[in-house]
Structure 1
């Protein structure tokens, strides 16, 4: 029984829970009451190391145990709640005998790689600006290095897509995981703005190799009738990264240091690289069955479905860039604490994850993706308009919840549309450009609204109008396509 993955999860969870209590109950009072600063540095570092082991145990259990992924989500959440690990251990001890081991699930490992990639991205958000300032960067350089990651990420996405089609997704995944984890360790050596710029370029570029290869691997190992549901499950891990990443880095950076936070993320990346080398290298993508519909090879990936998917990806992240830029300013103008911005962003992520993981995910295989795409982008546009009018915490949470519904409809739709519009032989390139549009959307969204002479109200109204126009275009175009098919 001791070799059971749940046993390792329980033991590392208890160690994580104890180290968290020592950090909060002993180290922090020593620092803030008696002025012993090193207590938090030492205990925080130990707690961070234990958390990395705990995260690896969660990943291992998710891969080997026949249970719901909700257990993995609960295990992650418990790590941030005092005594949460002890409650989880009590629950797991009672159910451990009821769960058997399963053969290796390749999908869970690919989901975990997607989680790592977005966890890496979202963990940077709360700490990168302060870290840049701490090494002497001017306000201009601070903004520059934040956008520089997404810009260099774009080139990594494109190269990943091209090389994935040539040599297969496995080698690109391995290169991305190893190089990204190594790049995260380079932040320990950053002591001046120039070095930070160089590291950001390298980090963004090599991190861009991962996601197109991961999504290509997932798409090529799934039958057509289940693509929408599987993409929704993948979106669950993106949503979890959006919820957990900022909270983890914000808390850990305040107790230790920003480079140590990135080291914890790097440990997760190296662990995934080892698991990928063991398991994914043996996996053979099944050949297409006779009679299965195929998309004709025309030498180009550009068609109506692909263009709509790329447009959806761009405007999804354009909207995200606007939210990241304007929402904190709007919350501040209303007189609320800045912490409200973080909880509001978590709200939309939680709503999206629930739609991804609950039976509602079946809708993505039963309704045409063009319809759910138009609905999703329309709800996000409506939310942008409503945010400008929201003045109370209740209305802000309600509107961000609606935004989460739109995000949940949009993300699987554009992925499913892309998969159905491209042949497997060109899917790597298609996903490379797809995530390049993702990265460009973030850059354009935040920078355009910063450049235009808009206040927060006008910025939200402008963004909402743009999104609704794109939703109308997709809806009308989809209706035209259905009319021609009759």
Structure 2
């Protein structure tokens, strides 16, 4: 028998109301009258934990129940007023049978998991170097532990893809969420470089399990004529993580500590683990295509469409690595404050998120993915060339906006092309390799340009030429295929 979401809200609400009365009526007098400080510490901690459960119950009811917004607003307000929870429970009990339960939107949970995975990644960027130094790491070890995460992540992506095809995305997704949360909590135990290296390997490996399984789940539960739009909308959560993650960790680390930042992210991961365990446990892998329905795709996941998708993913992240490496140096060389680099990167992220989330995302279902891929990689290549020639703040913002448009076109195109080029039974493995290529692209973009004897402007020019060459290759390959088909 299914338990009504209001039941959970009522139980946690009564516990919250009772613990508030104990805190105010017993613990606080014990502290301020009799000097027993531990009374408030103990009862306050218990009340805080119950309040967290109560907040989650409000959120769960908000998602699942068809009701007025006044109900969740009243539930939040009741937590801060003595005896209000009991009055609310009386009203909820009277109305529980009238409040209809909405079907759960699995896509919303998938979006949240994708956000968590990339939020975990981007929240590390501003603080990992300083954290490594704080535990005694040398400059070599600092660079090593940062790159080590990406390498371990690559292996995790591949493992995730293989297991997803064998047993479905649910188990590996659940394992990735739980183990990533545990890995984030382990940073509290790090007090020397050797321990940091071990935690980074474990963190990168288990975090790599999440994204291929999440995108496979999303692809396998989406109608064919909506795949491009769905991927674009999913990309908006990646963009939001890229915007919010660094800002969150930078601000929180300056006010608290790096382990506290990672603990906060871990709590989000554990909440999503519980929600995934509840709502994904009944997920069934779609039936495989009947023999002959996907003959072109079933032979190998490395067909021409998949190879183009992998190449697109690699050059997308190669370009990102180049931007991350060269843009701060270029801004500094022009005499601007280093904060400008962050706002420029936020600009391209905001532009991309808008294209992902607004009705513009329909283009990815109406235009062939190879065409939007060529447009996206071409715009990114052009923007790299223009950055090298930009010397004013206005032109830098305009060029990074153009880069954001290119990014927004390329990311959904590569994903859509991958989905269209792989059958359901091989999609997990295909996504595993896809995101492994993603990780390698970032490393290649920054490291190759760092090794080559290029100036900053030459680095941008080289990257732009490479991206434009790949765009031309995609266009020419499409024209050649048309000739062969004719």
TM over 0.5: yes
CA distance in 2, matches of 1:51, 1:107: 27
1:85 equivalent in structure 2: none
Structure 1 position 376, deviation (Å): 0.3
1:274 maps to 2:274? yes
1:402 equivalent in structure 2: 402
2:321 equivalent in structure 1: 321
Deviations 1:220-243 (A, max 9, x none): 111111110100111011011001
Rate the CA distance shift 1:62–1:143 in 2: closer, same or farther, 3 A: farther
Structure 1 position 218, deviation (Å): 0.7
Structure 1 position 287, deviation (Å): 3.5
2:352 equivalent in structure 1: 352
2:125 equivalent in structure 1: 125
Say if 1:295 and 1:423, in contact at 8 Å, map to a contact too. no
CA distance in 1, matches of 2:247, 2:436: 26
2:385 equivalent in structure 1: 385
Q: Describe how 1:471-482 pairs up with structure 2 within 5 A.
A: 471-482=471-482
Structure 1 position 64, deviation (Å): 3.9
Deviations 1:241-270 (A, max 9, x none): 001100100110010000110001100100
1:186 equivalent in structure 2: 186
Rate the CA distance shift 1:382–1:136 in 2: closer, same or farther, 3 A: same
1:35 equivalent in structure 2: none
1:151 maps to 2:179? no
Gaps of 5+ in 1: 7-47, 68-98
CA distance in 2, matches of 1:365, 1:335: 44
Deviations 1:338-381 (A, max 9, x none): 11111111111110010011110000000000000010011011
CA distance in 1, matches of 2:297, 2:226: 23
CA distance in 2, matches of 1:347, 1:60: 33
Rate the CA distance shift 1:115–1:141 in 2: closer, same or farther, 3 A: same
Structure 1 position 485, deviation (Å): 2.5
Structure 1 position 56, deviation (Å): 6.2
1:470 maps to 2:470? yes
Q: Describe how 1:30-179 pairs up with structure 2 within 5 A.
A: 60=60, 63-64=63-64, 102-179=102-179
Say if 1:317 and 1:442, in contact at 8 Å, map to a contact too. yes
Deviations 1:399-453 (A, max 9, x none): 1110100000000000000001000000011000000000000111111111111
Structure 1 position 291, deviation (Å): 11
Structure 1 position 290, deviation (Å): 8.3
CA distance in 2, matches of 1:290, 1:105: 29
1:21 equivalent in structure 2: none
CA distance in 1, matches of 2:137, 2:480: 52
1:435 equivalent in structure 2: 435
CA distance in 2, matches of 1:58, 1:423: 40
CA distance in 1, matches of 2:440, 2:62: 33
Structure 1 position 284, deviation (Å): 2.5
Deviations 1:88-114 (A, max 9, x none): xxxxxxxxxxx9963100111111111
CA distance in 2, matches of 1:278, 1:204: 26
Rate the CA distance shift 1:231–1:186 in 2: closer, same or farther, 3 A: same
Rate the CA distance shift 1:264–1:53 in 2: closer, same or farther, 3 A: farther
Structure 1 position 300, deviation (Å): 2.1
Structure 1 position 390, deviation (Å): 1.2
CA distance in 2, matches of 1:349, 1:475: 26
Say if 1:56 and 1:268, in contact at 8 Å, map to a contact too. no
1:207 maps to 2:179? no
| RMSD, aligned α-carbons | 2.9
Structure 1 position 484, deviation (Å): 2.4
How many aligned residue pairs are there?
Answer: 415
Larger Rg: 2
1:375 equivalent in structure 2: 375
CA distance in 2, matches of 1:312, 1:134: 38
Rate the CA distance shift 1:472–1:58 in 2: closer, same or farther, 3 A: farther
Say if 2:377 and 2:406, in contact at 8 Å, map to a contact too. yes
Partner of 2:281, secondary structure, is: helix
Deviations 1:57-110 (A, max 9, x none): 89758854789xxxxxxxxxxxxxxxxxxxxxxxxxxxxxxx996310011111
CA distance in 2, matches of 1:187, 1:66: 41
Structure 1 position 4, deviation (Å): 12
1:87 equivalent in structure 2: none
1:18 equivalent in structure 2: none
Structure 1 position 219, deviation (Å): 0.6
Structure 1 position 481, deviation (Å): 1.6
1:418 equivalent in structure 2: 418
CA distance in 2, matches of 1:276, 1:110: 9
Say if 1:5 and 1:65, in contact at 8 Å, map to a contact too. no
Gaps of 5+ in 2: 10-47, 68-98
Rate the CA distance shift 1:312–1:51 in 2: closer, same or farther, 3 A: farther
Say if 1:351 and 1:401, in contact at 8 Å, map to a contact too. yes
Partner of 1:388, secondary structure, is: helix
Say if 2:356 and 2:408, in contact at 8 Å, map to a contact too. yes
Say if 2:168 and 2:285, in contact at 8 Å, map to a contact too. no
Rate the CA distance shift 1:295–1:135 in 2: closer, same or farther, 3 A: farther
